[in-house]
Structure formats: C-alpha cells, structure tokens
Amino acid sequence: MVKQIAERLQHLREQRPLVHNITNFVVMNNTANALLALGASPVMVHSPREVKEVVAMSNALLINIGTLSEEWASSMCAAAEYAHRIGRPWILDPVGAGISAFRNEVLQELLRYRPTVIRGNASEIIALSDFALSGGKGVDSTAGSAQASASGHQLQKTSGAQVCISGEVDYVIGEQRSVSIHNGSPMMTKVTGLGCTSSAIIAAFIAQGDDPFLEALAGVSVCSLAGELAARQSSGPGSLQKNLYDTLYNLSEVEISTHLNIKEYVH
Amino acid sequence: MVKQIAERLQHLREQRPLVHNITNFVVMNNTANALLALGASPVMVHSPREVKEVVAMSNALLINIGTLSEEWASSMCAAAEYAHRIGRPWILDPVGAGISAFRNEVLQELLRYRPTVIRGNASEIIALSDFALSGGKGVDSTAGSAQASASGHQLQKTSGAQVCISGEVDYVIGEQRSVSIHNGSPMMTKVTGLGCTSSAIIAAFIAQGDDPFLEALAGVSVCSLAGELAARQSSGPGSLQKNLYDTLYNLSEVEISTHLNIKEYVH
Amino acid sequence: MVKQIAERLQHLREQRPLVHNITNFVVMNNTANALLALGASPVMVHSPREVKEVVAMSNALLINIGTLSEEWASSMCAAAEYAHRIGRPWILDPVGAGISAFRNEVLQELLRYRPTVIRGNASEIIALSDFALSGGKGVDSTAGSAQASASGHQLQKTSGAQVCISGEVDYVIGEQRSVSIHNGSPMMTKVTGLGCTSSAIIAAFIAQGDDPFLEALAGVSVCSLAGELAARQSSGPGSLQKNLYDTLYNLSEVEISTHLNIKEYVH
C-alpha cells in the first residue's frame, strides 16, 4: 500500500486537481497553501449564487463547518447536494460536531448528500456517530482516536463514507479494510487547523475518483508524514507551520517508503 | 509581581483554558495559533444560533470588533451579554474605535455588559474614553500610549474594567494599581494583529478568574516579552511572526524573570 | 524608470499611506502583512455602515472579489462608487473573473466606477475584456500572460485604467506606454494570494496619486522583485511566504537597481 500511496501523490502532482473549498475563516489561508504546496489548485467560493458552477468545474469538494452560520450552511448544503447529484467526490470535515443543536442539524442534512469521506478528531466522530451532545471540549478533541474507532466503524456503515479519525494514531476506516497510521507529531496539535489541512489534502486525492479508500488513506498519510518530518526540524509551532508547506512541496517517494508507518487491521 | 506572572503562565499551561473568540477575519488564524502555542485551546464560533452554548462551555470570551458588520455585531452583543450574565470573564478589543458612528454605537452597547478587561492602542482607548471622533489613523495608532494614560484611567473608572494600552510602553491600569511594561520591539508594529494577539493571550489568562488585574498584566507581559525575544532573532516581520509562536511555546520562567521589565506606578 | 521606482518606494515609506482593503477571506492576513512590511498602513473594513467613512480617511482603496457574496458585493460597489466620486485612487482585483454570471455582473458594475488600476492573471484579464465565460481553471490562470496582452490593451482602452497582468512575465499597460517585468519566480505560484498581494502593494503606490502608470509599475515591480529575491533563499513555499515579508521590509534602492529587469515596449 505504501507504494500505491507514493504513486497517488505522483499522479496528483501531474493532474493538479482543482479543489473547491467551502471552509472556515480560521484555516482558509492555510488550506489553500497546503493544497498549492502539495501540487493541487484550490478555489474558495461560497456564495449560493455560484457554488454550483464551481462544484461543476472542480474535481473535488471540501465542506468544513468550522465557523458555521446560517448563510454559509445553506451554501454548504447546496454545494454538497449538487456534488452528490453530479457524482463529484466530496469530503465532510464536521468541526465541532456535538457542540450545539444548530451544528448537529446542519451535519444531519449534509450526511444526506453522502460524503465520499468524513474526517474528524475522535470527539467529532463520536458525536457524529451518536448525534448526542459529546463530551467534546470545543473543537480540540478530548477522546483518544482509538476510543473513537468503534464509533468510526458504526459511522462508516450508516454513512457509507470512508471515515478518517485524526489523533495520536490516525485511522482510515473503509467498508472492507481499515488502516492505522503511526506518523505525525504531538507538536501538530499546537498549530491551528492541521486537521482541516488533512481534510483538504484528502480532498485533492479523492479527485482521482477511482478508489476512495486508498485515496483517503493517501491523504491522511501524506499529511501526517509531512507533519512529522517538518516537526523534526522545528523548534516550535511557528516553524512547524512554515516547514509543513516546504515538506509537502518536496515530499519524495523515498521519504514515503522510508518513513510511512501504516498497518492494516481486520474489522 | 514578575514571579506571580511566571506562575500564572505555568498555571495556564496546566489548565489549558478554552477561549471563545469572536474576532476579525484578518487575525483569526494568528490568534488561534498564539493561543495554541501559549498552551490554551481556542474556539471560533460566531453564529447567533450557538454563541451562548459556546460561551457556556468556555473559560473566557474575547470580542474583537476589527471587521465589524451588523450580523457579527449582534452575535458579539449576544455573547457579551450572556458572558456578563453567567459571570464568564471577557475582554473587549475595540479595534478602530472612533472611526465611524456605527462602530461607536456597537462599542457603547458592548460596554454595558461590563468587560473584565479592555485592551487597545492609544487612539482606541482615547476614543473609547471620549466617544468623540478620534484623530485615529485607521486602526494603527497615531497617539502615544503615554498620552492615552489619562484616558485610560478615566475609562477604568467609568467601565470598571482593567484597561490595557499597547504602544512603545504598555500600560495596565486597574482600580488601585497600575503597571507600565517596558518590553516589546518596534518591529512588532510591522506584523498585523499583534495587538489582537495580546488581547487573545489576555483572554487565556483571565480564564483563571480570581485576580483580573494580575491576569491582564500577565497577558500583556507575556505577549510583549515574547515579541521582544522573537524580534531579536528576526531579520524582518515574516520571521518575527514565525518566531513569536516558537517563543510563546518555549517561554520559560527564567526568561520571564531575566527579561521582563515592569514598573508599578502610583495613580 | 528603475530609478523612479526606487524613489517611489522611498516616498511610500515616508508617507505611510493608509490603504483601505475590501478583500477576500483567504488573503486578508497576508495582504495586511505585506502592506505593513512595505511601510504602508492597512485598514480592513467592509460594512456598508462605514465603508464611506473609511474610503474618505484612506489614501487608496483596494477591491478584491475573491470570496464574493451579495452582501460584500454591495459594500464593494458602495466603496468604489464613493472613491470614484471623491477622486480617491482605487484598484480592482477581479479574482475569478468569468467563472460565474454573478461574478461578471458585479465586475461590470465595478468597472462603471472607473478603477485607477486593474490587476489580474491572464485568464482574468481575458475574461474581463471579453465578458464571455473564459477557459479559466478556477482562480489560477490557464492562459499565459503574453497571450493576454492583446486583451489587456483592449481593456485599457475601454476602462481607462492602467492594466496589470501577472504571470511568468508581468505586464503593465497604460494609455501611451507599456512595460514588461521579467522578475518573479515560479515558486510564487505555490503560495496563495501573491497576486492579491501584488494588488495590495499597487494600492499603496497609487495613494501617491500623480502618475498612475508609474505607480502601478512600481507596485508590480516591487512585488515581483521581492518574490524573486525571497525565493532564492527558500526551500519551499512556506519559507517563501515568510521571506517575502522580510524582503519587502528590507528591500533597498541598490537591490532594485541591480536586479529589476523591465522593458518598455511600443504599442
């Protein structure tokens, strides 16, 4: 699988997919930069007057509900509905799932449009699976990603999506296969929006559109590995953010095959 | 007092307070990163559909009116009103006070909800104290922070808040005590939103909730000192922004006791 | 002309123009930082309740339609109309021109308020000149800037604006003179919003208000040259972003006269 991930990255860099982002104000700049460094092409458009046109011209869609409002929620739903209708791959990042009734309602509608992938931290995946108020502490996770694994499997079944859980260990859960990713760095939790960045990178991979499980896995793997390699040369989170873009830009097949540490596990 | 500031920072890192930010589009990313580097946990939520739920689950609230609009103003007022009602500490950053009648109206309503702390530059503090149109040049300050000291004392009395004035010298003005902080660097004015960052850091300290004057002082001190230490190793404002996060992340008790230069003064 | 550009930069640093930005969410932070590093003073205000007051107090206005919505479009039009009425120089950055009917309508209204300068990539300039749906791939350009030169000349005639086209080679097209700028670096396309940054820098120059062609040329030249010099010491786009601010902050007359490579050409 490691070799396939490296090939997918090579393919992404040749294809330069256009990724439509309807995301939160905090990370817009970062995710655009991560996509460019990776080799993809980001577009950020959210007006209901033009989201359909942009979904149609893009290769994949990312919906991230971080700084949600009613206006943005209707754009998100319109875009997701249209992506679903025309068969465009899309990923849902359910930031802060469970922290309010409003957020849960919007998520419930979004799930109807059958995201190709869902990526969140442990608290978010548990909340999304339960739709009960989680013990989540804001938008950072209080549950471990291993704890969320059972919820992730349940969410995979009910949603049909590939489910990715970020944490000390990352998980990618598909219908028939699941993989844990043992890369990353604790310092990554000290840079805002690296989970959102992981979702954006996954979006660039699912643009390939022929093996969503492998594509989601490639996205999570590339982000966590790049973060780990970047953290090794960083004296703090400011350096890490800068080095992450440089690492994404330069990440080689050799680095992937040398350092990527993933394990398939049986359901 | 220097020793108490270092202890407060240590306490903050153990407590990891959740800080609710309703802030401007320009600095959202930066203030989230500053809070994470410091050891706090940021959450950015602004919809009137969920601000109360997030105020309730957070340890402190920051309201920064930089990129104000009518929609955001009503969210800010709802959040501030609720924080006041349930006794949650909150800080007001009156960006651009005095530049328009609209902004002054919103500030007037916000002041009714009794902020724990107000932090601004000299022009903003003067304008807020006067509510006359200031000689402010946009959002950067044209008055010196020393000039604003008299206005700051007046504002302290009328608002009941701890008043912090940023500038070449910073001031923290309480009911019975006032302190000037002689740290920072002129290069800090060449990075956008370091005043906003100072407010966010103060928000993380007032979450402790038992000595607002000392907490405001700790926030201003940590930000200005970290900026000064970061600027020493920076060849320009790009480096400074990166180094600021690294410095906040690594700031030690020894650095605080060696370099922090504060002076109490009599009213 | 190179000497005049260096003098204009010197003048800008002494004058510290206040630049009013109504721009997109992705680049707000970056353009504020670029303006500060350059020596200008940015203000970001977009509410219809106060845009006129801020246009009136500013020395120049930037309108960038990146993350357009109906609410923001009416603020943009109100600000541009007012800038036109009171004779305030303003620049239009038509991000994503041609990707939707909505965007084209808004651009058509904005053009009525006679921007001093228009800056876009090749696809955007072609679309703006045609107002037909372009072959544009989102907001990154698919056409070369040389290809767009004919469209740029046509747009110059119909709009009366100085037209700047960004690409491998940049063009600044005036009524009587045109110049190509042979600086920059391919790595600049891997950092989000460096085109938007170029527009912001132009805005700071047109605040001088006595020779829009030369001022637009100075803005494009300074941005492309700073990007080139910054890229030389950057191992990837994360470093480039940081180094760009440091370079803008330190850019000297000697560097401009040594490295700036511009050519006047006959229409």
For B131-176, what is each residue's pLDDT tens digit? 743 444 556 667 777 778 999 999 999 999 999 999 999 999 999 9
- Report the gap between the CA of C118 and the closest CA in chain B (Å): 23
B contacts of C28 (beta carbons < 8 Å): 25-26, 67
A contacts of C67 (beta carbons < 8 Å): 28, 44-46
Average pLDDT over residues C234-243: 98
Q: Could you tell me if B112 and B90 are in contact, meaning their C-beta atoms sit under 8 angstroms apart?
A: no
Q: Distance between CA A5 and CA A257 in Å, rounded? A: 9
- Measure CB to CB from residue C29 to each of B26, B137, B189 and give the nearest one: B26
For chain C, what is the domain count? 1
More confidently predicted of B90 and C141: B90
Residue A234 has pLDDT above 60, yes or no: yes
Q: What percent of chain A has pLDDT over 70?
A: 95
Q: What percent of chain A has pLDDT over 90?
A: 91
Residue C172 has pLDDT above 90, yes or no: yes
- Measure CB to CB from residue A67 to each of B36, B45, B248 and give the nearest one: B45
Q: Distance between CA A219 and CA A202 in Å, rounded? A: 4
B contacts of A69 (beta carbons < 8 Å): 46-47, 49, 71
Q: What's the gap between Cα B58 and its chain centre?
A: 17
Q: How big is the B-C interface in CB pairs under 8 Å? A: 101
Q: Which residues pair with B92 in a beta bridge?
A: B63, B118
| CB pair distance less than 8 Å for A245 and C235 | no
Question: How sure is the predictor about A136, in pLDDT bands with cuts at 50, 70 and 90?
Answer: very low
| CB pair distance less than 8 Å for A50 and C67 | no
Task: For residue C38, give every residue at least 6 positions away whose Cβ sits within 8 Å of its Cβ, in sequence order, or none.
Answer: C12, C13, C201, C204, C222, C248, C249
| CB pair distance less than 8 Å for A137 and B247 | no
- At C202-212, the pLDDT tens digits run 999 999 999 99
- Report the gap between the CA of A240 and the closest CA in chain B (Å): 9
End-to-end CA, chain B:
18
Task: For residue C53, give every residue at least 6 positions away whose Cβ sits within 8 Å of its Cβ, in sequence order, or none.
Answer: B99, B100, B101
| CB pair distance less than 8 Å for B250 and A238 | no
Report the chain B residue with the minimal C-alpha distance to residue A235. B246
- Measure CB to CB from residue A46 to each of C69, C101, C192 and give the nearest one: C69
Binding residues of B for ATP: 119, 166
Report the chain A residue with the minimal C-alpha distance to residue C243. A242
Q: What's the gap between Cα B174 and its chain centre?
A: 15
Q: Distance between CA A165 and CA A167 in Å, rounded? A: 7
Question: C-side interface with A, Cβ within 8 Å?
Answer: 24-27, 29-30, 66-70, 96, 99-103, 137-140, 189-193, 234-239, 241-242
ipTM: 0.94
- Measure CB to CB from residue A242 to each of C67, C189, C242 and give the nearest one: C242
Q: What's the gap between Cα A198 and its chain centre?
A: 4
- At A16-59, the pLDDT tens digits run 999 999 999 999 999 999 999 999 999 999 999 999 999 999 99
Question: How sure is the predictor about B221, in pLDDT bands with cuts at 50, 70 and 90?
Answer: very high
C contacts of B137 (beta carbons < 8 Å): 18, 41, 57
Binding residues of A for substrate: 44, 193
- Measure CB to CB from residue B50 to each of A26, A103, A242 and give the nearest one: A103
Q: What is the extent of the structural domain holding A144?
A: 2-265
Closest CA to C61 of C49, C73, C52, C72: C52
- Enumerate neighbours of B (3 or more CB pairs within 8 A): A, C
- Measure CB to CB from residue B100 to each of C49, C243, C250 and give the nearest one: C49
Structure tokens at B94: 């009156």
The pLDDT, as a whole number, for residue C138 is 57
CATH value at residue C236: 3.40.1190.20
More confidently predicted of B130 and B51: B51
Interface test with B, best of A189, A190, A197 (most B CBs within 10 A): A190
| CB pair distance less than 8 Å for A138 and B57 | yes
- At C32-86, the pLDDT tens digits run 999 999 999 999 999 999 999 999 999 999 999 999 999 999 999 999 999 999 9
The pLDDT, as a whole number, for residue B139 is 63
Residue C97 has pLDDT above 70, yes or no: yes
Q: What percent of chain C has pLDDT over 70?
A: 95
- Report the gap between the CA of B45 and the closest CA in chain A (Å): 5
Average pLDDT over residues A219-238: 98
Per 3-state DSSP, what percentage of chain B is helix, strand, and coil (rounded to 5)? 55, 15, 30
Return the exposure string of A76-93: e unless at least 16 CB atoms fall within 10 Å of the residue's CB, then b. Answer: bbbbbbbbbeeebbbbbb
- At B53-99, the pLDDT tens digits run 999 999 999 999 999 999 999 999 999 999 999 999 999 999 999 99
On whether C8 is known to bind a ligand per the annotation, the reply is: no
Q: Judging by DSSP bridges, how do beta strands A178-181 and A262-265 pair with one another?
A: antiparallel
B contacts of C243 (beta carbons < 8 Å): 238
Residue A147 has pLDDT above 90, yes or no: no
Q: Could you tell me if C61 and C17 are in contact, meaning their C-beta atoms sit under 8 angstroms apart?
A: no
The pLDDT, as a whole number, for residue C182 is 98
Closest CA to A172 of A140, A213, A144: A213
